[in-house]
A = this chain, B = another copy of it.
Amino acid sequence: MTPQRIAIGAGESESVVWLGRGLLADAGSKLVSPSGRFLLVSSKAAREPVDVLRRALGGRLFLDLEIEDSEETKTLDASAAIADRALEAGVRRDDAFVAAGGGVVTDVAGFAAAIVLRGVPWNAVPTTVAGMADAAIGGKTGVDHPLGKNLLGAFHPPRTVLVDPAAAATLPDRDYRSGLVEAAKAVWIRDARLSQRFEELLDAILSRDEGALLEVVSGAVQVKAAIVSSDLREAGDRRLLNFGHTLGHAFEAAGGYRELRHGEAVAWGIAGALVLSRERAGLPAGDASRILSLLARLGPFPEPARSEEELRALLARDKKATSRGIAGVLLERIGRARVEEAIPEGEWLAAAAAASIPVSGSGNQP
């Protein structure tokens, strides 16, 4: 099967996303390094797909680092340690990093690539569904800070993103399902037709059909690519991709980044955003219900902590807050979202309290 090619941005900051089955073994011809040499930073949790990648790159690897792929290790120290090892290995400006793993690995290694020698090229090989559909796409890299998630980082798009659904074959079910929330999010804000297709394919996806997964991931990447290409620096439409993330980040932080997977927190954040979208953006009840049904089939997700006091403090630190207030993304209908610039804190807190995801019956609701 011919792989699919999606370009994001243009010129110096162009990223090319390749999607297809069997691409891991073909990494040698798809990943980009001006010198021909690569530095691999990979997730310990993704040894099987990384071994395929390693064989594909062969003698062109001159550094081969494994790191943890968990939110606690997404620190400036982790990026600095990668930078140290790269400099010790004699990295040059025309060498390229390859980050293979989940969102933590691509964020941390991508940020190291952003700051080493003021920026060297890098490539992303996501091995999680969240990475394929979201984290590795769009050029954001970065690390967490004691005061919040992703507070340090850089826009540094990878030259290439290689999406092979087989890379997620050994992913635990909880990670696989929570990653699909990010794919669904991209679809819901932009593409009503694909939203319906997602519902049709979900049983096959959940039974790990790689073709079905690839179809949905490809749709999500196309949505994100189109939005990011028109707004690399998050001044306009790119903010739509934060649908579900204002409350999602607060839920995730309230659970100490241990209780909920990122995608699970975003699922709850979407449930909250649906409350606000019904009240403020005229979202039809039927659309809200279809979204909640699909979230239910992806779940059940652990209940988030909802202490009003804690959520209030976390919302006040939201990175998307400007001096004008806390902006939010609302859905007008499936396939159409808009940014509302200043939603009062009280409404966010009420939506957080009201957010609810039904329990799925058969796992196959209409």
Contacts and interface: CB of A to CB of B under 8 A. Distances in A.
Interface of A: 12, 35, 37, 76, 80, 83-84, 87-88, 90, 92-94, 114-119, 140, 142, 145, 147-148, 150-155, 233, 317, 319, 321-323
A323 B88 contact: no
A12 B116 contact: no
Given A151-B87, A152-B83, A154-B154, A35 B118 contact: no
B119 A154 contact: yes
Contacts of A142: 115, 118
Given A87-B148, A92-B321, 9 more contacts: A35-B322, A83-B145, A92-B323, A94-B323, A115-B142, A115-B154, A117-B151, A118-B140, A154-B154
Chain A interface, >50% SS class? mixed
A365 to B, nearest CB: 39
Nearest to A37: B323
Given A93-B322, A321-B92, A323-B92, A114 B83 contact: no
Contact of A116 (B37, B80, B116, B151): B151
Contacts of A321: 92
7 contacts: A35-B323, A37-B323, A76-B80, A83-B151, A84-B145, A94-B322, A118-B154
Contacts of A35: 322-323
Contacts of A76: 76, 80
A114 B154 contact: yes
Given A87-B147, A145-B87, A322-B35, A155 B92 contact: no
Given A87-B145, A147-B87, A322-B35, A155 B118 contact: yes
Contacts of A233: 12
Contact of A153 (B92, B94, B118, B140): B118
A156 to B, nearest CB: 9
8 nearest A-B residue pairs (beta carbon): A118-B153, A35-B323, A87-B147, A115-B152, A94-B322, A87-B151, A117-B319, A92-B322
Nearest to A87: B147
A122 to B, nearest CB: 14
Contacts of A317: 90
Given A12-B233, A76-B80, A88-B147, A115 B322 contact: no
Contacts of A117: 151-153, 319
Contacts of A153: 115, 117-118
A145 B115 CA distance: 12
A152 B111 CA distance: 11
Nearest to A93: B322
A357 to B, nearest CB: 31
Contacts of A116: 151-152
A168 to B, nearest CB: 27
Nearest to A153: B118
Nearest to A139: B118
A285 to B, nearest CB: 35
A141 B201 CA distance: 48
A119 B323 contact: no
Nearest to A321: B92
Contacts of A322: 35, 92-94
